[in-house]
Structure 1
Amino acid sequence: MPHTQTPTQPISQYFTLGRSGLRVSRLSLGVMTFGTEWGWGSDKASAQAIFDQYVDAGGNFLDTADVYTNGTSETWLGEFVRARNLRDHLVLASKFTFNLGERNANMGGNGRKNILRAVEGSLKRLGTDYLDMLYLHAWDQITPTEEVMRTLDDLVRAGKLRHIGLSDVPAWYAARAQTLAEWRGFEPVSALQLQYSLVERNIEHEFTRMGTELGMGIVAWSPLASGLLSGKYKPNEKHEGRLAIMQGSSNPAFQYMTERNWGILAELEKVANEIARPMNQVALNWVANRPGVASVIAGASTPAQLASNLAALDFAIPAELVARLDAVSTPVTPFPYYFFTNAMQGMFYGGATVGDKPAGYRAPVLVSGNGAGVA
């Protein structure tokens, strides 16, 4: 069954994030492109224009990390915010985990020493006393969950953080972190920042339901698959830009040029043509309207790119076209998740029709915005 589209939503419409009271734009501005240290991205004048364009349109949710462009992203973002005296109007999110290039074992990972160091560094570069959201950037496979959650809770109690989130972690880790928070009275996890797009849908196996059940809103990163779904890449052509630059790297997050993905791209182009919308807008719209998604991070290297991205929620994709996109991009369902499909579930009851409890059986669950966020 295709997912129901929500009504059109301007960028200035805010949804609460997870079970928190933090109100964020449905499209977040990713500022990993602020700076040219990595061989691509925006110079300072272009970055300033992109920032101004986003906030002038009503956007309030900005995403960066200490590691982005070696700290330039945070530094420029902080300058832009201060220049317009917008700190209280904006939701600033940053991340920690990655080592910034120094040969120091404790300047990376998720241990207490590095978290405290990273937060102080981010606050200094951003020129602010607090972060609205801090994400653990990736699971380091070493640090006990208890140490991470206690440290983040201490930072919230100290007034340096308002809310906390997790990015790029296993589902069991996120569930354990949230359970610890509930059990010990720590600050709960409000957001899960995860890769999600038409070509990367594996979070649907577990994270979507987990986030809904445990009160963590999904913030989708790379909704355009590093530009693949923007329409500027074609099979059997010479490619330029970030995706082409990173294609030969060891980073799996940029390895998108596959036969499967070219097929998804072809169907996306057909759907976009049928509704007379650019491919990037259709791809962003599809992600924003998936179950459990609270916000989508849309980056841009130029004001023109951002202008197109900001229009991605101004329309609804017809249900039959959503179904076509769903069908062409459906990932393989591995064990044990195929046990949870409708075909297998039907075997549990011998063919009898079994439904969920009727409305009113239990107290209603508070949902974010119009339900597209998370319970």
Structure 2
Amino acid sequence: MKYWGIAALVLVLALYFLGNVILPFVLGGAIAYVLDPLADRLERLGLSRAMSVAVIAIVATVIFVLLVLLIIPVLVQQTGSLFTFIGNSVEKTPEAVARLDEWLARNVPILAENNINVADQLRRAADVVQAKGGDLLNTILTSAMSLINVMVLLVVVPVVAVYLLYDWDNMTAKVDELLPRDHVSRIRQIARDIDRTLASFIRGQGLVCLILGIFYAVSLMAVGLQFGLIAGAVAGLLTFIPYVGALVGGALSIGLALFQFWGPLEVDGEMVRQGTDWFRIGMVAGIFALGQFLEGNFLTPKLVGSSVGLHPVWLIFALSVFGTMFGFVGMLVAVPVAACIGVIARHAVESYKDGRLYKGHTDQE
């Protein structure tokens, strides 16, 4: 127990003092871990380890180039335009804002008593979003690029991932040789459980995120929602945290649909009827309802499984704690560390129930 405590302390200190330095190695190791089963499968098909790694690297490079050329520019452009769209949408519907203010003044008297004008507040908020949204986006991108250098992402991380993927089996064998012989079977069992948990969650949940992200983005754009690609990407990415992706993505998409499809229809400058497109708003909500149905009944049971053992609250807590303490690197290692702690805790509970402290002095066979 003493040695495991020392190892945990070393890990915490390394993350705290060397977070930015070890970032490319953490990313490279994570990529190698995720791709190792694919390399093993290619080896079973008759390819050598070097050829398997080369094939994976070529395919990954092609996918990366396609993302850079086709998808990422559209995401950046739509994100930059989103702030202006929100501000302009409020300004284009002054009647609706005025009616909302009148309704609130009539039904919530405290607003009128304190001279609070909701319409003015919304207009001011729209002006701030429109004026500062672009600056905020640039600041976020600049900060991200200062934290994760472009050269690190494009050069160091792939190189580290390729080398680790090539030597992955040798490294695991060397580590196995160093295990204490008296506890080797127990440690191997814990390691297998951790690997099964990580594989089920990271690989399986990653594939679920990808499938749902594509489904949301394509479906939202198909119903004519502006910035549907952004909403789908956000929903797919946040699906990694259970329930959060659907809530945030759904709220964002429905909010955008209300901005876009809600409002009066004008003919010759006169409002002739209410032009709210309830069908498309309902379609947007239905897309997320269908996505949740597919995720809960097909994708997660098939790709992730029910034996992962990572409770959503425990996962969110780990992401929050490690992100606060160690920044971006902490968020990367939060899920593996949470999985390890969960598996070790389950084994500790089993050992406790088999021990004298739990059973007492009487034999409870």
TM tier, shorter chain? under 0.3
Give the alignment's TM-score, normalised by structure 2: 0.22
Higher strand share: 1
Choose between structure 1 and 2 for higher RCO, CA contacts under 8 A separated by at least 6 residues. 1
Give the alignment's TM-score, normalised by structure 1: 0.21
Larger radius of gyration: 2
